[in-house]
Amino acid sequence: MARLTTTILLVGALAASTACSKKRPAVLPPAAGEAPPPAYQDPNGGLNGGAGAVTPGSSADFKRSVTSDTVLFGLDQYDIDSEARAVLDTQVQWLTRYPNVRVTIEGHADERGTREYNLALGDRRANAAKNYLAARGISSARISVISYGKERPVALGSDEASYAQNRRAVTVVVN
């Protein structure tokens, strides 16, 4: 039943994405000059000796293995488009390989929405990504969601390029 529900939601999301004609930028790696991603916490306390040695199934392994940990959305949108699907498919591959790993999907919004609405919008986006992963066979019990609304932008400008990076859902490995 749960699977059925998520599948229906997925179909809805796909339908919404085809209906959406808005051209959105390619999935971007963190832009140069933006704040660097948080430093990787090596669960082995650095004994692996530097960035080259990555523990299989770890957060660093995840980030290295997938196209991106982040999918982007259009303004006030939460549909999973073809680019987002391609990104999430690589996450599915990795999560299938490590079936005991749990993830949290963080939903975010740009600053052009009001605070409370953006909390709900971030929840929508995180759940859209979660539903896609679940529809591809990842147990939804492994996936939690959290919305940060507009509280944690990655790009700090007040321009479309920054907004586009901030409308996102980020998959984070729970160590």
Partner 1 sequence: MKISALLIGVSMLAGPALAQDVPAVTLTPPAQAPAGAQPAQAAAPAQAGPGQTPPPLEVDVTGGISAPMPIAIPAMPTPAVTSTPAGSTDALGRQLSDIIANDLRGSGLFTPIPPAQLRTVMFPEVTAPAYDYWGGTGAQALVQGYIRANSDGSLTVGCYLYDVTARAELVRQGFVVPPSQWRRAAHKCADAIYARLTGEGPYFDSRVVYVSETGPKGNRVKRLAIMDQDGANHRFLTAGSSIVLTPRFAPNQQSIVYMSYVGKNPAIYVYDIGTGKQRLVVQNAATTFAPRFSPDGRWILFSRAEGGNTDIYRVSSAGGGTPQKLTNSPGIDTGGSYSPDGSRIVFESDRSGGQQIYVMNADGSNQQRISFGGGRYATPVWSPRGDLIAFTKLSGAFRIGVMGPNGSGEKLLTDGNQDEGPSWSPNGRVITFFRTGRGSGGKADLWSVDLTGVNARRIPTPLDGSDPAWGPLQP
Where do contacts with partner 1 occur on this chain (CB under 8 A)?
Answer: 9, 35, 76, 78, 111-117, 119-121, 123-124, 126-128, 131, 146-148, 151-154, 156-158
Query: CB-wise, 86 or 120, nearer to partner 1?
Result: 120
Give the Cα separation of 68 and 102 in Å (integer). 17
CA–CA distances in Å: residue 101 to residues 34, 69, 88, 156: 29, 15, 16, 32
Query: CB-wise, 27 or 154, nearer to partner 1?
Result: 154
Q: How far is the CB of 32 from partner 1 (least distance, A)?
A: 14
Q: How far is the CB of 147 from partner 1 (least distance, A)?
A: 6
Q: How far is the CB of 127 from partner 1 (least distance, A)?
A: 4
Q: How far is the CB of 151 from partner 1 (least distance, A)?
A: 6
> CA angle at residue 54 from 48 to 57, to 5 degrees?
125
Query: CB-wise, 5 or 82, nearer to partner 1?
Result: 5
Q: How far is the CB of 61 from partner 1 (least distance, A)?
A: 22
What DSSP state is assigned to residue 13? Answer: H
Query: CB-wise, 67 or 101, nearer to partner 1?
Result: 101
CB 84 within 8 A of CB 27: yes
Structural tokens at position 68: 């991106």
Cβ atoms within 10 Å, residue 166: 20
Starting from the edge strand earliest in sequence, which strands make up the sheet with 102-108, in order? 70-72, 168-174, 102-108, 143-149
Query: CB-wise, 39 or 116, nearer to partner 1?
Result: 116
H/E stretch holding 15: helix 2-19
